[in-house]
Amino acid sequence: MKRWKKGITAGVLLGTLGLLAACGGGDKASAKNGGDSGDTTLTVTTWNYDTTPEFNKLFRAFEEKNPGVKVEAVDIASDDYDTKLTTMLSSGDTTDILTMKNLLSYSTYALRDQLVDLTDHIDGLETEPAKESYEMYEIDGKNYAQPYRTDFWVLYYNKKMFDEAGLEYPNNLTWEEYEALAKQLSKPDEQIYGAYQHTWRSTLQAISAAQNDKNLAKPDYKFLVDDYKRMLRMQDEKAQMDFGTAKSTNVTYQSQFENEKAAMMYMGTWYMGALLTNLDEGKTNVEWGIAEIPQKEKGEAIKTFGSPTAFAINKNSKQQELAQKFLDFCSGEEGAEILAGVGVVPSYRTDEINKLYFGREGMPTDEVSQKAFDPEKIAIEFPIDENGPAIDKILQEEHELILVGDVTPEKAVGEMKKRVEQEIE
């Protein structure tokens, strides 16, 4: 990937990260020896396995290349993933391979000495096509994971809903234009909205930080006020589903978009693979496209945010050699070809891989989509910081208080600043 705004430094990473909240454990699969099948079973933590197609594709391809090996998912609900994985590791869990969902949790596990140091091994690999993604995982010159995908956020839209409303497809929108379109496309009496914004704090805070050149680990959050006011205004105008409803009913972004309940939705490029798979399987008929995520000003350089995803080896794994073989397969050219073929953006990128990615049947190939796939700047979703997990928790709590109407954006950003300053003292 190009033009990543890096938020990782060795000095910052040396601190001990706060503990993530712990609750529950993963649903562990069968024994390592594969039971009566005679296969060797390699276990991998995943989230939302049934709706995340690249896991199955990578697992089956590795099995085909390695007869006698069975790759089995230890699946965890997406929203609970990091807290449950933290609990599993603290109790000595021996799952072989751990999927690093984000950089923040990765650094936590690495600094607790729960991951195998892969530095020397990686030095002998061809990593140039994924160089910047690998650099994001460096901690004081060492690396404990191998990235296999690198995502960023774009705007998804429903072509049919735009056609029926007689509106042009989105292209280089400002946030003001986005809000106006959402109002025009909404049919609140039918529970159909012009836009859907998921409940994660990143859907507002990370985008705002990227477009304002801010660092969420620094206690200065006034830049968030205007974006929160827009979101509250859109909720009041019924231009998008209100946060309270989405949160209390556990609405999924996939159901909103694929069941044609939302005309626009900004989400990560990872969603393309799942969407294409569901279209192939007849689970949805949505006619879709992508455009650049809305910007503050018309015609300015496209700024968005994103994050890599990686596999790491559990230090308690009894099959580290086989696990390493799996990591090399997934993070290298072979894995990249598989990921590109299902519409997932691999970390390992070459011209040939890019052609394969856009050659996938059903992938939008128009000029606007191509431009959306090549933003000028991709900022790290949440820069790694020794106080990262605690800051993340504070920001999420205040995010929710704003959107359920308990506090004003102005008061909330003041509380964010105060609480974060106390945390980092």
Each residue's pLDDT tens digit, 234-247: 999 999 999 999 99
Selected from 3.30.420.40, 3.40.190.10, 3.20.20.70, 3.40.50.10090, the CATH number assigned to the domain covering 152-304+381-424 reads: 3.40.190.10
CA nearest neighbour of 329 among 345, 314, 343, 311: 311
Q: At how many degrees (to 10) do helices 409-424 and 225-236 cross?
A: 140
Cα-based angle 263, 172, 234 (whole degrees, multiple of 5) = 45
Instruction: Provide the pLDDT confidence category of residue 25 given band limits of 50, 70 and 90.
Output: very low
H helix intervals, 171-264: 175-185, 205-211, 225-236, 243-248, 253-258
Is residue 3's pLDDT more than 90? Answer: no
Q: Which residue has the tokens 């990937």?
A: 1
With a pLDDT cut of 90, the percent of the chain lying above it is 71
Selected from 3.90.550.10, 3.40.30.10, 3.40.190.10, 3.40.50.1460, the CATH number assigned to the domain covering 40-151+307-366 reads: 3.40.190.10
Question: Which range among 2-11, 116-125, 333-342, 393-402 shows the weakest confidence by mean pLDDT?
Answer: 2-11
The tokens for 271 are: 């969603």
Report how far residue 226's alpha carbon sits from residue 328's, in angstroms, rounded to the nearest whole number: 44
Residue 342: per-residue pLDDT = 85
Q: What ranges make up the beta strands (E) of 20-172?
A: 40-47, 69-76, 97-100, 138-139, 142-143, 146-158
Residue 119: per-residue pLDDT = 97
The structural domains of the chain, with segments of one domain joined by +, span 40-151+307-366, 152-304+381-424
pTM of model > 0.85: no
Is residue 358's pLDDT more than 60? Answer: yes
Question: Phi and psi (nearest 5°) for 112?
Answer: -90, 5
pLDDT, average across residues 55-62 = 97
152-304+381-424 and 40-151+307-366 share a CATH fold: yes
* Span 242-280, pLDDT tens digits: 999 999 999 999 999 999 999 999 999 989 888 998 999
Instruction: Provide the pLDDT confidence category of residue 226 given band limits of 50, 70 and 90.
Output: very high
